[in-house]
Amino acid sequence: MKTTRTLALALALTFAAGVRADYLPDPAAAASALWASPMVAQARAESEAQALRSQSLHQGRSEWTLGADLAGRRIDTAAGEDVAEWGLALSRPLRLPARAEADRALGGALAAHAEANLGEALHESGRQLLEHWFAWRVEASQAPLWQAHVALAEQQLAAVDARIRLGEAPRADRVNADAALAQARLQQQQAAARAQQAHDRLRAQYPGLALSADETLPQPVAPAGSAEAHADAVLAHSHELLRARRHAEVLQAETRQLASRRGVDPAVGMFYKNEMNGDEHVLGVSVGLTLPGAARRTDQQAAAALASAAQEAAVRLEQRLRQEARADFDAAVARVEAWQQADRAAQALAEAARLAARAYSLGEGGLDQVLLGSRLAQEGALTARQAQLEALAANARLMLDAHRLWPLDVDDDSAPAHP
């Protein structure tokens, strides 16, 4: 089928030569995950069904009717003769050229709508994949930070023990340091549990997806261009908008088809009759006309009203999608700026914690300042890491919507079908 070949080639080209980043899913595995998703499988089945329906409309639904009759004739004579008679008839409705053209137009519109629906299913599945992927990455990225925090808490406890042995710190400091270490270990365990839960949810949703990624994340960069340019790119490739327009075209084609049925329905046929016990043979041609009623007119009017409403809905959808695209672009820019602020704050808090620990090791300052600085530095690091991933996720979503990440609009009849 043309749709499957076209979209399969798009994915193949994208995953072979498209954007590749270690913090994103493996391209080949992502392709398989998208095609295996229930949403895409259903859309693919609907597309195949609509292709068959389109063939039916192209061929026409007029069929031959075979009829037979058997009768007995009684001739009212003195002899009272009874005569057996029988006949055969074969007829078929005629599809006039205007109606045939309307049927073919409707078939093409249905096939085009099914293609757009399959494209939108792939696009929406891509969105869901990114959402689940980055939800896992956020949880998974916190585990090494808590591991480092536990290691730091262990070093602080060792430093406290050293000062206690030298008589430079009260024994109460060890209780506080030990409590801080226990709390850090608890937070580490909880973070590991959340990461495992996110991992299991992602694995259940996409069984064939390899869940491995580089822990080193790139620095988010503000998207290039303007919000208006991004909106233009999104609308130029939006399967959602294309699907709405194709739906309006289907309703318009149905209106034209119903209009073509406002005329009479002719039917022609042949018949043969064997009468008078075979003494008489009749061979003839029959012509019939089905006269339209008021129902056909009201059906056309209803279809025209639905087509008009669908056109208006497509216009409103275009406006909404443009506004959402602008908002997504502005949000991506804001997330990069938020990460930059969070990163600067995390660096400042880390430096303050380092200085407090250094001062304590030199006998200056109290343990409370060290523990507070360490806790604030850890919170800053977690916030910065989450902001970094949110910025990367927003940028990946922009590329997906503009078909610069996984484009789905390549058109080539020679493309191989996805298995």
Tens-digit pLDDT profile for residues 43-52: 989 988 988 8
Could you tell me how far CA 230 lies from the centroid of its own chain? 19
Could you tell me how far CA 215 lies from the centroid of its own chain? 28
pTM over 0.85: no
DSSP string, 160-207: HHHHHHTTSS-THHHHHHHHHHHHHHHHHHHHHHHHHHHHHHHHHH-T
Considering the chain, what percentage of its residues have pLDDT values greater than 90? 41
With a CB cutoff of 8 Å and minimum separation 6, the contacts of 295 are: none
- What pLDDT is stored for residue 13 in this prediction? 36
Domain annotation covers residue 140: yes
Count of structural domains within the chain: 1
- What pLDDT is stored for residue 276 in this prediction? 80
Task: Give rounded-to-5 percent helix, strand, coil for the chain.
Answer: 70, 10, 20
pLDDT digits (tens, 9 = 90+) for 111-149: 999 999 998 998 998 999 999 999 999 998 888 899 899
Distance from C-alpha of 22 to C-alpha of 16, rounded to nearest angstrom: 15
Distance from C-alpha of 257 to C-alpha of 303, rounded to nearest angstrom: 10
Domain annotation covers residue 270: yes
Domain annotation covers residue 145: yes
Q: List, for the chain, all residue ranges whose pLDDT scores fall below the cut of 70.
A: 1-22, 77-80, 213-214, 406-419
Strand locations in 94-128 (E) = none
Domain annotation covers residue 409: no
Domain annotation covers residue 323: yes
71: domain CATH number is 1.20.1600.10
Distance from C-alpha of 6 to C-alpha of 408, rounded to nearest angstrom: 8
- What pLDDT is stored for residue 253 in this prediction? 93
65-75 sheet: strands from edge to edge = 65-75, 81-93, 265-275, 280-290
Domain annotation covers residue 202: yes
Range of the domain at 178: 2-401
Which structure tokens are listed for 11? 């994915």
Domain annotation covers residue 417: no
Domain annotation covers residue 277: yes
With a CB cutoff of 8 Å and minimum separation 6, the contacts of 162 are: none
